[in-house]
Amino acid sequence: MYNAPPKVTSNWFPERERPYATMVGAGATFLGISIGFMVPTFFVSEFDVTANYTQTELDTFRHQVFTMFLWILVWTSAVTFLVLVFFKSKP
């Protein structure tokens, strides 16, 4: 993934705009990683490893994690579909 921004910018941007476009693409990579760390907090409630949870509470956590992964699957599938349909290899 780290070599994707220069490859995209070499195909899509004129030579004088490539450094800026590569900078934005590289920054977007780290922004995506940051969002990936924050997403679980919206779906899964706080979990304490040392606590003794009942089976119902554990089932709730499992359901929350499953729901999170389901939303990630739907979102990434939709974005992948749109990229495959509309993204050209060159302008």
Cβ(26)–Cβ(5) below 8 Å? yes
What are 43-75's pLDDT values in tens digits? 888 888 788 999 999 999 999 999 999 999 999
Length of the chain: 91
How many other C-beta atoms can be found within 10 angstroms of the C-beta atom of residue 46?
7
- Residue 2 is predicted with a pLDDT of 67
How many other C-beta atoms can be found within 10 angstroms of the C-beta atom of residue 77?
10
In whole angstroms, what is the distance from residue 29 CA to residue 15 CA?
22
**Single pTM value for the model:** 0.71
Query: What type of residue is 91?
Result: P
What are 22-36's pLDDT values in tens digits? 999 999 988 999 999
- Residue 47 is predicted with a pLDDT of 80
